[in-house]
Structure 1
Amino acid sequence: MEKEQVKSSKLKTNKDLFLAFFRVGLLGFGGGPAAIPLFHREAVVNYKWMTEDEFGDTLALGNTMPGPIATKMAGYIGYRVNGVIGCLVALMATVVPTVGLMIILLGILQKYKNLEWVNSMSAAVVPVVGVMLAIMTWDFFQKSGKSLGMGRAILFTTLAVILLEFLNIHPAIVIFGILIVSLTSFKKGGDSK
């Protein structure tokens, strides 16, 4: 009886993982950065598989590694929730709709690329993705203000903008550098050592 409950529980967990990441794969237009708010909604808000801070840490670490962020996030969250099987389920659920939609939509777009409504449809998605990313950016900024203190959050944000946008430093180097500085210089809550 107990084995059946455990098996049923794991099946439900895998089903939840599949549905959550299938939605992300299906709706994550615009690539990995556009899918991050969807990952956040599923992992933190809907299923509560991780906290806001854990999601932020996972995202930061995932951005320092090579490869697409969507598969890294899905793989890690799936593994965290249900081990290797959860990792495989989440990866498949993320990749399959993307590959399927890519084949179908790119075929359609190539066939009708000269039509005005196709160009308008493609352009209309961009502002929605921008708003989703802006909302998530604001949330991360507020969280860093609470944990580092608003002054340090503004300093790190300004420094990151300068390094990324004006000096064209790779994001992994910026994240790694800020992590090292924050680990060696500051305690949580913004107090100096």
Structure 2
Amino acid sequence: MDLKEYVALSGAMLRVGIFGYGGGPSVIPLFRHEAVTRYKWMTDKEFGELLAFANALPGPIATKLAAQLGYQQKGAMGAVVAILAHILPTTIAMVALLGALYAMKESVIVAGMIAAVRPVIAVLLGITAYEFCAKTWGGLGKIIGVGFGVIAFLLLGVLDVHPAIVIITFLAYGTVHIKVFNWAKRKWGGKESIKQNSGGMPS
């Protein structure tokens, strides 16, 4: 058992659990910072794929990401450690401070603190979305990437389609897109390579 790796995993999940104010989407940039930037457990592309699959599964996004990251690092025990490190401290704090929160819920100071945190969360989500868009442009091109962004917004925000359905649909398209692209590359790239090689051979 590598204690150092478990300590790093626990520390990462603990920080996300404590500083992930608001839960849900607000923790995604924090998970990305720990997994991609700080510890380099995975690339941005791999984190994007992890996030897509996690969104397609039922349950809170934070615990799903914690479990998957822990499992990738240290197997089943890593998943257990990651989930406990993520939820246990905040759960204890929530129970301990429940009475105080009820007593201060009408406080102007508390309301101001909550209002001040919201723009930070919005900026973090915006930065994460922009970086994902940049990766999408590199893979699909700007026109298709922007088009898919508009389609996703309409499906999720206007038509209120379940996110799992949207994600599965886009994953299916991505699979077909990659297969077609690789087929075309093999077919036309192979022919071009043959022509070049034939032109260079003596007659």
TM-score, normalised to structure 2, is 0.85
Listed as ranges, the matches of 1:45-84 within 5 Å are 45-84=37-76
Listed as ranges, the matches of 1:2-151 within 5 Å are 7=1, 10-151=2-143
Q: Distance in 2 between matches of 1:24 and 1:144?
A: 26
Identity percentage over the alignment?
44
1:85-114 deviation digits (Å, cap 9, x = unpaired): 111111111011221232244432210122
Structure-1 residue corresponding to 2:146: 154
CA contact (8 A) 1:109 1:118 kept: no
Letter in 2 for 1:13: E
Q: CA deviation at 1:167?
A: 0.4
Root-mean-square deviation (CA, aligned residues, Å) is 1.7
Rg (Cα) greater in structure: 2
Letter in 2 for 1:112: M
Q: CA deviation at 1:187?
A: 2.7
Letter in 1 for 2:11: L
The runs of 5 or more residues in structure 2 that have no matched partner are 185-203
Q: Distance in 1 between matches of 2:30 and 2:101?
A: 24
Letter in 2 for 1:163: L
Letter in 1 for 2:17: G
> Structure 1 107/126 Cα, relative in aligned 2: closer, same or farther at 3 Å?
farther
The runs of 5 or more residues in structure 1 that have no matched partner are 1-6
TM-score, normalised to structure 1, is 0.89
Structure-2 residue corresponding to 1:3: none
**Number of residues of Structure 1 aligned to a counterpart in Structure 2:** 183
Letter in 2 for 1:79: Y
Structure-1 residue corresponding to 2:178: 187
> Structure 1 107/129 Cα, relative in aligned 2: closer, same or farther at 3 Å?
farther
Q: Distance in 2 between matches of 1:98 and 1:32?
A: 14
Q: CA deviation at 1:128?
A: 0.8
Q: Secondary structure of 2:172's partner?
A: helix
Q: Distance in 1 between matches of 2:68 and 2:44?
A: 15
